[in-house]
Amino acid sequence: MAPDTNTIPGYTIFREGDYDSASAAAFIPDRVPHPLDIPDQLSIIEIPAAAQLIREWASPKLLKFNCITLREPTKSEYVAYKEGHASRPDRRAFAIVIEQQGSGQISEVVVNLTKSKVERWKEVKDVMPTLTLEDLDIMERISRKDSRVIEACRGLGITDMSKVFVDGWAIGVDERWGFERRLQQGLAYYRNHELDNQYAHPLDFTVIADTEREEVLSVDIRYVNGERTAIPLTEHHYLPNFIGDKYKHDTLKPIDITQPQGVSFQVRGNELTWAGYKMHIGFNYREGIVISDVRMHDPYEDRDRALFNRISVVEMVVPYGCPETPHHKKHAFDLGEYGSGYMTNSLKLGCDCKGAIHYMDGVLCTGKGEAAVIKNAICIHEEDNGLLYKHTDYRDGTVVSARDRKLIISQIITAANYEYGFYHTFTLDGTYKLEVKLTGMLNTYCMHPSEQAASSPYGTEVAPAIIAQNHQHIFSLRVDPEIDGHNNTVLQSDAVVSKDPLGSSENYYGNGFYCEKTPLRTALEGATNYNHETSRSWDIINPNRLNKVSKKPVAFKIVNNACPALLAKPGSVVWKRAAFARKSLWVLPYKDYELYPAGDYVCQSTGDENHPDNLTIQDWANRNESIENADIVCYIQFGLTHFPRTEDFPIMPVEPVSVMLRASNFFQRNPALWVPPSALCVDSISRNAFPACCSGGESKNLPKL
Amino acid sequence: MAPDTNTIPGYTIFREGDYDSASAAAFIPDRVPHPLDIPDQLSIIEIPAAAQLIREWASPKLLKFNCITLREPTKSEYVAYKEGHASRPDRRAFAIVIEQQGSGQISEVVVNLTKSKVERWKEVKDVMPTLTLEDLDIMERISRKDSRVIEACRGLGITDMSKVFVDGWAIGVDERWGFERRLQQGLAYYRNHELDNQYAHPLDFTVIADTEREEVLSVDIRYVNGERTAIPLTEHHYLPNFIGDKYKHDTLKPIDITQPQGVSFQVRGNELTWAGYKMHIGFNYREGIVISDVRMHDPYEDRDRALFNRISVVEMVVPYGCPETPHHKKHAFDLGEYGSGYMTNSLKLGCDCKGAIHYMDGVLCTGKGEAAVIKNAICIHEEDNGLLYKHTDYRDGTVVSARDRKLIISQIITAANYEYGFYHTFTLDGTYKLEVKLTGMLNTYCMHPSEQAASSPYGTEVAPAIIAQNHQHIFSLRVDPEIDGHNNTVLQSDAVVSKDPLGSSENYYGNGFYCEKTPLRTALEGATNYNHETSRSWDIINPNRLNKVSKKPVAFKIVNNACPALLAKPGSVVWKRAAFARKSLWVLPYKDYELYPAGDYVCQSTGDENHPDNLTIQDWANRNESIENADIVCYIQFGLTHFPRTEDFPIMPVEPVSVMLRASNFFQRNPALWVPPSALCVDSISRNAFPACCSGGESKNLPKL
């Protein structure tokens, strides 16, 4: 059951010579990329081509490829091309490479694929790149053979090391080593048999390893009153092999969802059109889904209007709240430390999504520079979304209603124990919503008999002698807005009581309230928090375009009231490393290749400001540049604080959390009036025009359109 | 088009002699009520029977029936009966009657239907009951004939009074009259033709009328600089008669949702069972849907466990934020002033809900004491709810996932211009969620040429010369919890940073945080607000029952972060009248017949404390009784602050808002493990047991259960 280090579950790997095979052919684009396919993925041809150019450049040094991904053009290149002022930018790859069997030097490489040459090679210092699935697999493999780990297991009565499982995690903090080692920590579990649920059997030690040297550095055993903590041995299962006869097969009757005429969207290359929307779907190892160049047709101005240049989830942090060693090291930055793309599930029809689905594959690389494909990495489908609008005239029962529809672009990632589903959702009224569904397995730990979870504030005893600790999930959604044009401003919108006193002629009855709009002018002003008392939201406006009707600037409103405060103390390790999570919103001027708010290199990061090769959002904000009527980028933080419940064990029911951006005085009127009603029931005027649909009062039976 | 005063759109009215007819038969229960059908509706037989007993008692006085509804048994009677300690309580009706052609005296009547006698007759003073649809219809009828209204219209150039439409509203405040008159205000609009959208043509005057005397008291014209405001005459349509050729019929392909084996719930009388849940569905003129006696099967303790004794939406307020006369009078309490039941839509398959639907009718009364049935008032249906859980073992691709399911019990009401959909939703993980969808028409007003909405903070110009004013919607969800027993306590749960300083041995790395739980001990402590900084939630616990695993009290958690602050000044009219809206949560001891937080009589209420016949939640709280380990009731406020957008005109896309109660250490583990997986993909052990489902890595193709 130990993984074959030449395979990665869920990945289809193409090695040299494979590219002409029939199976490879399915993954090779049979087209010239669509003009707007610039922020696309690299193909299975381009990845090894880039690797080969890099290897040749570095020879005789040996390299491990940490990533090979599309180098998106600069925005000026992209815009010039899109607007017809320049020719198509060259196709480029970006790679991070680690020198093997030597210095371990990390370098960033830009390869021009159009010109077949390495354009840039930059050595970076005091940083560590993402841990890939291949890197993480090392932990278990070396732990099982390590004498100190074997000894630690023996102390718990374990002699069969094939029953010991070690989840590799990035290390939150460990002062014993620095950037001279590429560290990971291993969280140890036991399985009594192949399909046993290891999270029911957490072990009382962690393993610290050097990823590059494949060397165990330390086995840190937690002693309680000088004693080891026994393995919780009771089995707690969630797999059907064990639950089998407890399933109730007839309780839930099937719900069949079909689209007999097919889906309502069209896909050309990576360009998606649906119900007036146009957008482009990309994917990479780190952010997973990238949605770019989002436009929407304005039925009143009869033109496509730009909404967002680029949308992606760029970071997240999961700080655990138990201060006791070794738990203080657990604060996973799943995107920056592991990569949302690398961890993406290959999806299956009817299991992850229902109905008519269009899938897109994800193209990644292996450490050897091979192309690796995650088949069905991205799910695109529609769902009915209930009422879009309804109104009844109470006088006579005249009624009209229409149904809303969702377009959902989703991926699910597995981050060791946890899973996250990311659902990018568009609806007909001009709303984009990102919903994240959290599920999978709680991170668990064993309890010593002297410990009482009921009296410990830092966790919940979710099964006898098993504690699951308090933690937070804080996500960072990066939105590069393009609200009807490149230059935008963010207004902070606070619902406030009128300043005129009760009894004054301006506010005699005291009911006056309004929306106070404060422009965020500089990057430091743009680092703001949600305020519940004023139901704060933010309008991304285009100050150069007024809505013709309301005479207010056209805008999209950010609605985000699910943004918990970061509960680590100021100055603490996670507070420093996760600067982005200190604020609900950051607004910054757009800069090419400034994407990742916890730094380009999150593994082993310290969060210290002004790191030459690893700036964070705090550094960007400290420049305090203008964000007014400028090309800006918004980082929107949202998430939840999770105090585990027994109901979350042994597998967590989905916990959803979401954030929304919504047209607000962007269109001249309801942009979805083109949607045919699902029902109406009107008067004598149209009575002859339509077949019967409904009845009531004075109204006449009328049409189903 | 003027309503026939003998009919009410959407109502089927049964008059004496009708009860033996075939059409009536469909609405007469063909059964002895189920034992748990005590909080049911009155039948179409019982309503006129109650009316007849009341009329006989009052004779020779003439009465108008404001309501005739079920008088639910006291909780002690109900519990004693349910637990087998007492016989079935007598069936009773509760009525509010208004003496006609005389004093206008309001009385409350309790009728024992089992014993056929009036048991209680109580005269109430300085209160006004709900305005029924019949009452509201009076406004338009008398306005059109009133010389002052005709004169006011002539001043705008209107001579055809059939084109003038007047929406009757409860009056927020009007010092000119008191309880000697049953007031309403009329908001005036113009229609150029029968199906014209009147909200595009608001007129500059309001009408004040006496409902009982059917008399116009005043026509209040708003003069701006001494001038009238012209009617905005541009038509803005949403009905298909006008949009017809702008519909895009082929853009959205149909989504068919079917349940070929039928629904998964069973209905016996008003008792509903579904997926381990049991509950009872009631309905009345004021609250609309009432869900009672909610239980859930515990698969681990193998017993039904009580969750909630009774759930209903008991009040809401819509304060408008424009301080200028006459808008200060607009703060609709839609439930208390009009009744959620009275305003309920008769629903239609495929229009309001999709899939396999079970409908229930609503039984109400008319002013004459007849039974009135709203056919299909309540929709009960299931929806797929996406992932219930998923986990993949990253080592070998072993994966299991299941899909969640919703049970939704819903109604839609029309409150003049606005509609509200109420969706009471249960999911398999032990979650109850109330989602409200707001749609319909904005309340609009005309703008004088001297006015600029862009410079007015109190509204948005949603079409030329039409302003829609800022407003809030604050709902009150009443939950009578019964978390595993009658006596419960509410703990306020705040996520707080550890008090131990960074660097101390207790919190060296500064990552410690926990959930601070503060019991709410008395009713005044129980009046609390949401706190965003601590992601505040509340646990309704049963302090007498510990979860066997976590050793924490069994609980349901209230998750409510959509609870805007009431934006009226302290001491203002709406602040006084809507005391309930000042707090996110009130917890009170249960008292029989204490239901309505803004008072039993909301029309013309002042909010003054200690009104002998009209106590509010503030009065209840002021008693400051114990709410600890007691039979308690929670009033949960939630809603939104709406700054209108041009996108909300001429008909509003749905704006959703919701609140949730969720099992939290209530079950010993995930209560939905009985749900068969939609997909799994496991190892060699079960490989022979199941047909192929999926593939990947080391895993074998496995079963679709």
For residue range B441-469, list pLDDT tens digits in order: 999 999 999 998 777 899 999 999 999 99
pLDDT at A700: 29
Average pLDDT of B280-307?
96
Tell me which chain A residues have a C-beta less than 8 angstroms from the C-beta of B262. 253
B376: region left, alpha or beta (phi > 0 left; psi from -120 to 50 alpha): left
| Cβ pair B534:A565 closer than 8 A | yes
* Mean pLDDT value of segment A259-288: 94
**Res B696: pLDDT:** 31
Q: How far apart are CA A47 and CA A364, in angstroms?
A: 8
Chain B CB contacts of A439 below 8 Å? 387, 389-391
Cα of A321 vs its chain's centroid, Å: 22
d(CA A9, CA B408): 39
The beta-carbon neighbor of A257 closest among B2, B255, B399 is: B255
Angle at A336 between CA A332 and CA A339, to 5 degrees: 100
Residues in CB range of B59: below 8 A, 6 or more apart:
none
pLDDT digits (tens, 9 = 90+) for A295-354: 999 999 999 999 999 999 999 999 999 999 999 999 999 999 999 999 999 998 766 777
**Per-position b or e across B650-661, b if 16+ CB within 10 A of its CB:** bbbbbbbbebbb
Cβ neighbours of A564 in B, within 8 Å: 495, 535
Q: Are residues A79 and A118 in the same domain?
A: yes
At B163-208, the pLDDT tens digits run 999 999 999 899 999 999 999 999 999 999 989 999 999 999 999 9
Instruction: Enumerate the residues of chain A whose CB falls inside 8 A of the CB of residue B668.
Output: 646
Q: Which one, of B67, B172, B71, lies nearest residue B129 by Cα?
A: B67
User: Which of A8, A498, A532 has the CB atom closest to B532's CB atom?
Assistant: A532
- Residue B704 clears pLDDT 60, i.e. is over it: no
Asked if residue A685 is part of any domain, the answer here is yes
Helices (H), B519-627: 573-577, 617-622
Residue A60 preceded by cis peptide, ω within 30:
yes
CA dist B497 and A572 (Å) reads: 12
Same domain, B175 and B200: yes
Contact: B698, A458; criterion CB under 8 Å: no
How many degrees, rounded to 5, is the angle at CA B661 between CA B655 and CA B664?
A: 145
Give yes or no: residues A201 and A232 share one domain. Answer: yes
pLDDT in tens, B119-174: 999 999 999 999 999 999 999 999 999 999 999 999 999 999 999 999 999 998 99
Q: ∠B4-B6-B8 over CA atoms, to 5°?
A: 75
- Can you tell me the distance from the alpha carbon of A286 to that of A283, in angstroms, rounded to the nearest whole number? 8
Q: Largest alpha-carbon pair distance within chain A?
A: 88
A71 and A114 in a single domain? The answer is: yes
Q: What is the pLDDT of residue B455?
A: 76
Among candidates A389, A440, A570 on the partner chain, residue whose Cβ is nearest the Cβ of B439: A389
From the candidates A37, A196, A334, A648, give the one annotated as an active-site residue. A334
Query: Please, how many CA atoms are within 13 Å of residue B229, restricted to the half-sphere of its CB?
Result: 23
B673 belongs to a structural domain: no
Q: Average of pLDDT values for B422-439? A: 98
- Final residue before a domain boundary, out of B102, B124, B146: B124
Calculate mean pLDDT across residues A638-660: 98
Does B676 sit within 8 Å of A249, measured CB to CB? yes
**Partner-chain contact B680 A403, CB within 8 Å:** no
Closest-CA distance of chain A to residue B9, Å:
4
- DSSP label of A328: G
Cβ-based contacts of A571 with chain B (< 8 Å): 502, 510
CB B565 to CB A648 under 8 A? no
For residue A585, count other CB atoms closer than 10 A to its CB: 22
User: Does residue B220 sit in the same domain as residue B269?
Assistant: no
Cα–Cα distance, A147 to A150 (Å, whole number):
5
DSSP A519: E
Closest CB to B497 among A346, A453, A567? A567
Number of domains composing chain A? 3
Contact A313, A335 (CB under 8 A): yes
Q: What is the pLDDT of residue B22?
A: 61
Question: Are B572 and A403 an interchain contact pair (Cβ–Cβ within 8 Å)?
Answer: no
Provide, as residue numbers in chain A, all residues whose Cβ is less than 8 Å from the Cβ of B676: 240, 247-249, 252
The answer, yes or no, to whether residue A692 has pLDDT greater than 70, is no
Minimal-distance CA residue of chain A relative to B457:
A514
Candidates A247, A319, A414; nearest CB to B394: A414
Please write down the HEC assignment for all residues of A625-645: CECCCECEEEEEEEEEEECCC
CB contact under 8 A, B568 and A419: no
pLDDT tens digit sequence for A195-247 = 999 999 999 999 999 999 999 999 999 999 999 999 999 999 999 888 878 89
Handedness of CA B455, B457, B461, B466 (dihedral sign): negative
Bridge partners of A412? A421
What distance in Å separates the CA atoms of residue B700 and residue B688, rounded to the nearest whole number?
10
CB contact under 8 A, B530 and A533: no
CB contact under 8 A, B10 and A396: no
DSSP letter, residue A699: -
* B133, B240, B650 member nearest A394 (Cβ): B133
Residue B334 falls in the annotated catalytic set: yes
Examine the domain organization and report whether B233 and B373 are in the same domain: no
Taking contacts as CB-CB distances below 8 angstroms, the residues of chain B near A513 are: 321, 470, 472, 567-568, 641
Q: How far is B59 from chain A (nearest CA, A)?
A: 33
Of A322, A394, A667, the CB nearest to B512: A322
**A567 contacts in chain B (CB < 8 Å):** 495-497, 513
Cα distances (Å, whole numbers) of residue A401 to A663, B343, B348, B654: 21, 17, 10, 11
Supply the pLDDT for residue A705: 28
Q: The tokens 């109660």 sit on which residue?
A: B661
Do the beta carbons of residue A400 and residue A42 sit within 8 Å? no
User: How long is chain B?
Assistant: 705
Chain A residues within an 8 Å CB radius of B575 = 510
Range with lowest mean pLDDT among A266-270, B364-368, B566-570, B631-635: A266-270
User: Chain A residue closest to B553 (CA)?
Assistant: A454
**Domain shared by A138 and A202, yes or no:** yes
Residue A649 is nearest to which of B255, B532, B669, comparing CB atoms? B669
DSSP per-residue codes, B431-474: EEEEEEEEEE---EEE--TT--GGG-TTEEEEETTEEEE-EEEE
- pLDDT higher than threshold 50 for residue B3: no
Residue A67 lies in a domain: yes
Residues 6+ apart with CB under 8 A from A691: A701, A702, A703, A704
Q: Are B465 and A550 in contact (CB under 8 A)?
A: no
CA-closest candidate to residue A388, choices B654, B255, B656: B654
Please name which of B631, B694, B671, B700 lies closest in space to residue B302, comparing C-alpha atoms.
Answer: B671
pLDDT score of B17 more than 80: no
- How far does B673 lie from chain A, in Å, by closest CA? 7
Q: What is the per-residue pLDDT for B684?
A: 39
A271 domain residue, yes or no: no
B647–A640: do the CB atoms touch at under 8 Å? no
Interior/surface letters B329-365, b for 16+ CB within 10 angstroms, e for the rest? bbbbbbbbbbbbbbbbbbbbbebbbbbbbbbbbbbbb
Active site annotation includes B199: no
From the list A277, A338, A418, A601, the catalytic residue is: A418
With CB atoms and an 8 Å threshold, state whether B569 touches A506: no
Which of B264, B328, B646 would you mutate first to test chain A, the one with the most A CBs within 10 A? Answer: B646
- 8 Å CB contact between A587 and A580: no
Tokens encoding B456 = 């007015």
Question: Which residues of chain A lie closer than 8 angstroms to B417, CB-CB?
Answer: 391
Same domain (yes/no): B600, B571: yes
Identify the closest residue of chain B to A172 by CA–CA distance: B509
Whole-angstrom distance, CA of residue A323 vs CA of residue A315: 23
Dist. CA B537–CA B529, nearest whole Å? 10
Interface contact flag, B236 A533, Cβ < 8 Å: no
Q: Are the C-beta atoms of residues A456 and A466 closer than 8 Å to each other?
A: no
Is residue A628 situated within a structural domain? Answer: no
- Report the distance separating Cα B607 and Cα B619, nearest Å: 10
User: Which residue, among B136, B351, B401, would best test binding to A if mutated, counting the most A CBs under 10 Å from its CB?
Assistant: B351
CA distance A231 to chain B (A): 17
Q: How far is CA B342 from the centre of its chain?
A: 12
Within a domain: B8: no
- The reply to whether B288 and B434 lie within a common domain is yes
Q: Are B251 and A264 in contact (CB under 8 A)?
A: yes
C-alpha to C-alpha distance for A370 and B236, rounded to whole angstroms: 60
Q: Could you tell me if residue A50 is inside a domain?
A: yes
Residue where a domain terminates, one of A55, A89, A124:
A124
Residue A75 in any domain: the answer is yes
In this complex, the residue of A253, A440, A645 whose CB is nearest that of residue B264 is A253
Interacting residues of A22 by C-beta distance below 8 A, sequence separation 6+: none
Question: How far A172 CA sits from the closest chain B CA (Å)?
Answer: 11
Do A169 and A118 have their domain in common?
no
Amino acid identity at A461: E
Contact residues for B287 (Cβ-Cβ < 8 A; gap 6+): B312, B313, B314, B335, B340, B341, B595
Give the tens place of pLDDT for each residue, B106-119. Answer: 999 999 999 999 99
**Residue B381 CB neighbours (<10 A):** 23
Any idea what the CATH number is for the domain that residue B540 is in?
2.70.98.20
Chain B positions touching A583 (Cβ under 8 A) are none
User: B-chain residues within 8 Å CB-CB of A173?
Assistant: 509
Are A654 and B388 a contacting pair at CB < 8 A? yes
Together in a domain, B458 and B595: yes
Q: What is the CATH number of the domain that holds B142?
A: 3.10.450.40
Domain endpoint, select from B124, B157, B181 = B124
Q: How far apart are CA B50 and CA B93, in angstroms?
A: 7
Catalytic position from the list B78, B277, B342, B418: B418
B45 and B159 in a common domain: no
Q: Which one is catalytic: B174, B334, B539, B600?
A: B334
β-strand pairing of A288-298 with A277-284: antiparallel
The angle subtended at Cα A516 by Cα B169 and Cα B532, nearest 5°, is 90
Print the domain residue range for A686.
675-705
Cα gap A537→A57, rounded to integer Å: 50
Q: What is the mean pLDDT of residues B396-425?
A: 95
- Interface contact B550-A383, CB threshold 8 A: no
* pLDDT at residue B680 is higher than 80: no
- As a whole number, mean pLDDT of residues A142-149 equals 98
